[in-house]
Structure 1
Amino acid sequence: MTETPPKKRIGVLSLHNSKETKAILNAIEALGHEPVWIREETLSLAVDGGRGRVEPDVDAVVNRLLLTKSDTGLADLGVVELFEDHEIPVLNPSAAVLRTTYEPAALRILADAGVSVPDTYQDFDGRSDGAGSGDRRYVRKPVLGTNGAGVSIAEEADDRPPASRRTLIQGFVDTGDRASDVRIYVVGGEVVGAMRRHAPDGDWRTNVAVGGAVENVTHDLDDGVRETAVRAVDALDLDVAGVDVIGTERDPYVLEVNATAGFKGFFEATGASPAPYIARLAIERAGGTVDDAGFADHETRLADEWPACAPDLGPDEDFRTVGYTERVDVAAGGGIATAVAKSDTGAKRTTVDLSLAAEVGAGPLEGTTSVRSGSSKSSSSRPLVTLDVRVGDRWHEVTADVIDREHMNYPVLLGRDILDDYFVNVSTRAVGDETNEE
C-alpha cells in the first residue's frame, strides 16, 4: 500500500488582503498542502529558556511584503529574518528583496552579471558628472521602486536635472514611434508569461494609468529576451519576480525587477496565473510534492476568493467603530500618505482626491466607473485605481475612484467597500478635525 506523502505547511507572509495573496493561499490548498496566512493576527516571537521561537510553525514561507507601501519597511523585513534564522526556506529572501528594492544596487548587480541595463548615474551631492554630452534624453527616477511614480524625462540640452541620493538619472531607451516594454513574470527560473505594454500616442510612458495598452506576447517572446529576464532574476538571488525589459529583441535592456510584482493585470492580459507556480516552488523547497490536477486548475484562473485558512478574528473583532471622520493612511506603489477621510455610507466605493492618488503613485488604471453626484440626473466617468487604505490598525485593499476634491474639505471618502466592516458613529470625528460639513 502506497503511503500518502505528508502535507507541508506553507506560509504566505502578507500584511494585506491582496488578490495575489489570496490566490497563492488557495493554490497551496489546491496542490494538496496546508496554507497558512502569516499576518499580524497570527505572527508571534518569543525568546525563552535561551531559545528563540517564531509562530506560526511552517515548512516554507512565501514573502509577499510590499515594502514600497509600508512605512515600517525595515521592521517588516525583520519578520522575514525570523524565519530565515530558523533555516526555513523563504521565497524571496530578505537580503535579495532589500537589494532589489534599492534600484542603484540592483542595477549594479545586474550589470556585473552581464545583464544589459540603461546607462545610469547617481552622485550623492547632485553633480551627476560624466553622464555624457550631446542632445540626449534622460529619465529621472526615484532610487526606490515605485511602479513608475515620480518618473520624469528631460533633454540634456534643457539643463537636465541632477541626480541625488534619492534619485538617479538613466539614459532614455528609444523604442521607435510608439514606446513599449515587456513585463515578464519569472518563478523558479521559469517564465510564466509575458505582456507587452504600449504607450499611448504622443507619450513615452507605458503605464496603463496614462492610457497604455497591453497584449499577450508569451508565445512570441524572443529567446534572448526570455533568457535576459531569467538571468536578471537569478543575478538578484530572487525566486519570484516581474522583470521589465525594453529595447529590441537583439538588444534588450532590463529597466526594473520587481520582487513583489502584482499579477492581477498580468493575468487579465495573458490568462496565466503565477499563483500555482509560486505555490509549487514553495512546496518543493519544503520537500513536498504537488497535485498536478490542482496545478492545472489554478494555472488558467485567478482564484482570489477569500481563503479558508484566513484567521478568525473572533466575534468582538469582526466589526469595529469608525467615526464621521477618521485619520487614515493611503498607500500605493509610490508610497504612503496620511489624510482625514469622511465616512459616506451612501457611496458604493471609496473615493480619493486626484492629488493624493498622484502623491502615493496609484496605478495602473483599473478601468472607469459612472458616478451620479447628489441630486444631479447626469453622471460622470471616473478612473479607478487599486490602493490600500488603513483605518486604525486594519488595512483594506480597494478599487477606488479618483476625482479632483481640492475644493472639498476631505481628500478621501470612505465608501461601503470599507465601511461594511465597521459600525459608523456619526457623533465622533478624527482628533483635531473641526471642519464644517462639505
Structure 2
Amino acid sequence: MDIKDLKVIGSEEWCVFNELGVPGIKARVDSGAKTSSIQASNIKLIVRGTQEWVKFEINPLQENRSISLQCQAPLVDRRMVKSSSGISEERLVVKSAVTLGDSTFDIELTLANRDTMEYRMLLGREALNNRYIVNSAENFLIQDFTEEEIEQRYAPFYKEKTGLRIGLLASNKELYSNKRIMEAAKARGHDITFLNVELAYMKLDALSPEIRYRGGNILNAFDAIIPRIKPSVTFYGCALLRQFDALGVYCQNSAEAIKQSRDKLFSSQLFSKHDIHIPTTGFAKSPMDTKDLIKMVNGAPLIIKLLESTQGKGVVLAETNKAAESVINAFKSVQTNILVQEFIKEAGGQDIRCFVVNGKVVAAMQRQAQKGEFRANIHQGGKASIIKITAEERKLALKAAKVLNLAVAGVDIIRSNKGPLLLEVNSSPGLEGIENATGKDIANQMIQAIEKKLKFS
C-alpha cells in the first residue's frame, strides 16, 4: 500500500469496542508492541459449543474503578508476552472489532493487568499495519472525546451512591495507596472524602465536641475513618482518631494500635510477652555497656535501627564489632534512642510482607534487596514477587496484628534457621508493591472489612 493512502494517527487515541460494550477507552499507540493489549481482571475461560471464550472485566477509565464492564470475546491464542519490567508471562488473546473514527476492523488483544499503567490499552503495530502512520508529536488525530462526552457515554454505568460515608485521613491524596482506597470505596457505592491530617482541628467540650476542617466545615457525619497517617504526624493524627472515636465514628485502626506499632521498643516488648519470636534485640541508654550489648545479640554483623525509623530509613548494618561500637556510641552521644538487633545472614536479603485485614492474611509477597543492600525495601530498588507462605508464617502474622490490635497491618517476617521471625508491623502498609506483585485488590478488601464491621449490606 502506498504511504499516501495511510491515515495519520496520533500517539494517543480513543478506541470504541461495540462488541465488548466499551463506549470509549484511551489507548497508547505503541508501534514497538506487536499485539494490542487491554486491561482485564477476573479472567475466566468458558466453552460455547466447540469454541473457547473468555469472560473478563474491564475498568476502562484510568483512576476510576467505579465503572466495571463485563465483557466476553472468543479466545484465539495463548502467548508468552514480555512485560515492560522484563518478565515473561502467558496471556490469553481474544479478537474483537475496534472502531477508530469512521473505521471499524478486527484486532487481537492480549488480556493483561494494566492497573498501574498510565493507559488501559495499548494499540500495537498489527492494528496499525496498512492502515495508519504514526505522528508521535500529536494526539487524538483520528478520534477525540471531551470529558463531558466520556461522562455521557458512561452515564448508564455509574452506580448510585447509597453507601457509607467514609473519611480517608492521610497527608497526600496522590499516593498510590490513597488513590486506590478512594477508587475501591467509590466502586462499592460509598461516599469517600480525603481529609488532610494537618487541615483538621478539634473542639474539646463535654456537651458538643467537634472536629472541623479547613474553613470551618464540621466533620460530624462520617460512618468510618481509614487512617493512613505518616510517621511525622503520628501524635496529631492519633489525637484526631481519638476525637473521631469519641464522636462514635469507627476508625479502622485505632489511635492506641497505631501508637503501639510505631513504638518499636514497646511493640518488641509486647511481642516477647506474647511469645512471638523476633531477632534477638537489645536496648540500652548508657554507652558503658556497649560491648556487652553487642555480645548479647550474638555480635557483629548486627542491625542498628532508630526507634522511629520507617520504610528502611534509619537502619544500619554494622559488619564488625568495632564498627558497631562506633555507631552505637555515636547515636547515644546525641541522645538518640536505638535498638540493636541480631543480623539474620541466612535470609539473604529477603523478607516477607503479609498484608492482614480483619484477622486474615489477604496477600503475601517476598521482597528481595537489591545487590549490595542487606535489607529488602521496594522503596529503595528492591524487588517484590508473590509467595506462598507457610502455616507457621501465617499464624505468626495474624498473632502479631492481633497483639497490636490492628485491623489492617503489614507484617514483615524473615526466614531463619530458627524458623520464621517477626521483624516489625506497619499500621499504614502501602498497597502498590503488594497489589502489583500479587494481583490482589487489597483496597477493595479493606472497604469490605469496614462494611462487615458496620454490618452494611
Q: Structure 1 length as normaliser, TM-score?
A: 0.59
- What is the RMSD computed on CA atoms of the aligned residues? 2.7
Identify the match of residue 295 of structure 2 among 89, 113, 132.
132
Identify the residue that residue 23 of structure 1 maps to in structure 2: 180
Structure 1 residue 159: deviation in Å? 5.0
How many corresponding residue pairs? 280
The structural deviation recorded for 1:286 is 2.5
Alpha-carbon distance between aligned partners in 1 of 2:271 and 2:254, rounded to the nearest angstrom: 17
Q: 2:357 aligns with which of 174, 187, 192?
A: 187
Indicate conservation of the 8 Å contact 1:138/1:155, yes or no: yes
Q: Residue 73 of structure 1: CA displacement? A: 3.3
What residue is the counterpart of 1:154 in the other structure?
A: 318
SS of structure 1 residue aligned to 2:314 = coil
Q: 1:19 to 1:203 in 2, by over 3 A?
A: closer
The amino acid that maps onto 1:138 is: L
Greater strand share, 1 or 2? 2
* Distance across 2 between alignment mates of 1:227 and 1:249: 18
How far the C-alpha of 1:49 sits from its partner, in A, is: 8.6
Aligned equivalent of 1:379:
none
1:242 and 2:410 correspond: yes
1:36 matched to which residue of 2?
193
The yes-or-no answer on 1:112 pairing with 2:273 is yes
User: Which digits, 9 at most, give the CA deviation of each residue in 1:252-307, with x for residues without a partner?
Assistant: 11111111111112212111132111111122223312xxxxxxxxxxxxxxxxxx
SS for the counterpart of 2:189 is coil
Mapped partners of 2:395, 2:270: distance in 1:
17
Q: Does 1:258 align with 2:415?
A: no
Other-structure match for 2:369: 199
Structure 1, gaps ≥5 residues long: 290-438
Give the C-alpha shift of residue 101 in structure 1. 0.7
Corresponding residue number in structure 1 for 2:345:
174
Question: Residues 102 and 145 of structure 1 are in contact (CA less than 8 Å); yes or no, is this contact kept in structure 2?
Answer: no
1:144 to 308, 326, 339: 308
For residues 23 and 211 of structure 1, do their structure 2 counterparts lie closer, same or farther at Cα, with a shift above 3 Å needed? closer
- Residues 331-370 of structure 1 mapped to structure 2, 5 A cutoff: none
**Match for 1:271 among 439, 445, 450?**
439
Give 1:285's aligned residue: 453
Residue 117 of structure 1: CA displacement?
Answer: 0.7
Q: 1:9 aligns with which of 165, 169, 172?
A: 165
Shift of 1:239: 0.8
TM-superposed CA distance for 1:205, in Å, is 2.2
Q: Larger relative CO (CA 8 A, sep 6+): 1 or 2?
A: 1
Contact 2:410 2:425 in 1 (8 A): yes
Residues 141, 152 of structure 1: 8 Å contact kept: yes
Q: Which structure has the bigger radius of gyration?
A: 2
1:48 deviates by: 6.9
SS in 1 for 2:311: coil
In the TM superposition, residue 201 of structure 1 has moved relative to its aligned partner by 4.3
Whole-Å Cα distance in 2 between the matches of residues 109 and 227 of structure 1?
Answer: 16
Q: Distance in 2 between matches of 1:91 and 1:22?
A: 17
Aligned with residue 53 of structure 1, among 210, 214, 218: 210
- In structure 2, what residue type is equivalent to 1:214? A
Task: Give the conservation status (yes or no) of the 8 Å contact 2:431–2:442.
Answer: yes
SS at match of 1:140: strand
